[in-house]
Chains A and B, each alone.
Chain A
Amino acid sequence: MAAVIEAGTTAIPPVRRVPDRFRTLIAVVAATAPVILVVIVVILFQQAAPSVRHFGLSFLTGVDWNPVTDSFGALPAIFGTVATSFVALALAVPVGVAVAVVLAEQGQTTIRGILGTGIELLAAIPSVVYGIWALYVLAPWSYQHLEIPISDRFGFIGWLSQPSVRSLFTASLVLAVMILPTLSAISREVIRAVPRGLKESAVALGATWWETTWRVILPSARAGIFGATILALGRALGETIAVTMVIGNRYAIPPSIFSPAYTLASVIANEFNEATGTLYPAALIELGLVLILVTFVVNVVALLLVRSTASKASRAA
């Protein structure tokens, strides 16, 4: 008896812990990603310092952009960025969710395979190609067939008047096309993550396909679809080239969505190479800093939302 207790209490010879140098090594290599992220913010902050010191918080509310008098304010660019992104979301979300619903259906058919591949290829087309297409094809078309008819009929509402070929609205249209793949790919994943049991219960109760989708599947995927929307918002906020080519580049808060405007990214793209002195480039870099910080927040919120839906679904399953 004593011997048994003795044996039980004797410590098992300690496992010789070989220091896992491989793990340390690749952990350090993998650190490149977080380190770059931090360094980007630090360096941009440092480069923007003259402007940050000179304008303080009034940089965010100023409406002037005048290199001659060294007077810089970001509000029109912030407004343009937010406005184009939200108009784009309003256009893309209904379509994107519909695509996700169709693609998330179980069972692979040829038509669904083709549609899915097509939507993913939409994401692969470089933004400059969307830009040249929007500039020569989409902008004149939307001016003729959307902006003019709408403003003729509803022009008495101020923000639907004054159509022009290059406008905030044209930029939003291109953005809507560009964020659609992000939106539908992630929404499809969260819809697929909805536990089968839920769907089967609804069908067993006699719900039709649409009733199941609209009342059961979409509500339980809501948070994830919201996350996908915010992720798409992050893409739209930072999109540069295609927007720069069609937005019209006017540094002012536009009176109408059919007027030319400007975004944070397109101001930088257009003006940075010509910026001289200290305050002008610093102000442009501060625009970049504002942009990057906003997209960071937006992205992290979106990722947390998508992840929480996915993990909730896997717990339920």
Chain B
Amino acid sequence: MNRNVRRRYASAAWLGVMYVLTVLALIPLGLVLWFTVSKGLPPVLHIEFFTNSFRPFGVPGGGVAHAIVGTGILVGLASLMAIPIGILGGVYVAEYAVDPWASWVRLASDVLVGTPSIAIGLFAYAVVVVPVHHFSGIAGSFALAILMLPIVIRTTEGAVALIPNGLRESGLALGLPRWRVSLQLILPAATPGVITGALLAVARASGETAPLLFTTLGNTLFRVDPTQAIQALPLTVYQYALLPYKSLQDQAWGAALVLVAMVLGINLLSRWVLRRQIRLAGQL
């Protein structure tokens, strides 16, 4: 076998190795999904799982209704705080990209994305829980909002930057003030991208456990008042999984399945929206 043939075979072999490693990387995804579905499906198939709240070990018919509603409240409140600020921040960073301040905001957002969520939980505990002397859904939402903010800023920036300059220039040429160009021309054109960012942030926040541990604490009762401690789905998974009772461990798997379905659903939706954005930007 001459040298060149050997080189070509070696190249093909390495290409094969790379693909094998990539498939290897996907095995955990397959395993996590498989176990979550196979272990989580039996409890989820009972309607009580979605209509009832915590029942102690031995009492049949326990469910996670309180956690599902709680996650909805926590993430909803967090979105109300983070998404408007994040969108405006993102518009600023993209529209005034040359400002030195904009690059500081960008750096701060990138660092904030990488900040350990447990530390954000400690922070929310110190500024929201300590002054009022009790755990509350609001404190949890505040922590989640801090997690969501940088994601919204960066994705909004990306979406706005995708809009061709021609649109901006034609707006300015018509004599529109800068704020109308940014908010009434550019932002609507970037809407799908902005929605993608908001959805990704919501997905991330729905799955976070660490920031909720010391803020909303969790609750075994069905509570909708955000000034009180309320339950959340990831907390349910975490707490029940570590208990020695089989029925509650099963519910932990069930809650994990609900969580994964929710988070992956939101992610796939955001992908679809993003594809629309790219097509739309191409048409402008």
B259 lies within 8 A of A126 (CB): yes
B211 to chain A, nearest CB (A): 9
Given A26-B91, A27-B101, A245-B242, A101:B18 Cβ within 8 A? yes
Given A33-B89, A36-B149, A129-B237, A295:B209 Cβ within 8 A? no
Interface: B73 (CB within 8 A): no
Chain A contacts of B237 at CB under 8 A? 128-129, 131-132
A28 to chain B, nearest CB (A): 9
Classify the interface of chain B: helix, strand, loop or mixed: helix
Partner-contacting stretch, out of A61-69, A268-276, A308-316: A268-276
Given A37-B112, A300-B111, A177:B126 Cβ within 8 A? no
Chain A contacts of B241 at CB under 8 A? 131-132, 135-136, 245
Chain B 84-127, CB-CB to A under 8 Å as 1, else 0, gives 01001101110110010110110111111011111110110111
Interface size on B, residues (CB 8 A): 86
Chain A contacts of B122 at CB under 8 A? 44, 47, 268, 272, 284-285, 288
Chain B contacts of A239 at CB under 8 A? 116
Classify the interface of chain A: helix, strand, loop or mixed: helix
Given A44-B122, A99-B22, A245-B241, A125:B111 Cβ within 8 A? no
Interface: A204 (CB within 8 A): no
Interface: B252 (CB within 8 A): yes
Interface size on A, residues (CB 8 A): 81
B69 to chain A, nearest CB (A): 18
* Residues of B participating in the A interface, judged by any CB pair closer than 8 Å: 7-8, 10-12, 14-15, 17-19, 21-26, 28-29, 31-32, 35-36, 39, 85, 88-89, 91-93, 95-96, 99, 101-102, 104-105, 107-112, 114-120, 122-123, 125-127, 146, 149-150, 153, 177-179, 182, 203, 206-210, 213-214, 217, 234, 237-238, 241-242, 249, 252-253, 256, 259-260, 263-264, 267, 271
* Residues of A participating in the B interface, judged by any CB pair closer than 8 Å: 20, 22-23, 26-27, 29-34, 36-37, 39-40, 43-44, 47, 94-96, 98-99, 101-103, 115, 117-122, 124-133, 135-137, 177, 180, 184, 208-211, 213-214, 231, 234-235, 237-241, 245, 265, 268-269, 272-273, 284-285, 288-289, 291-292, 295-296, 298-300, 303
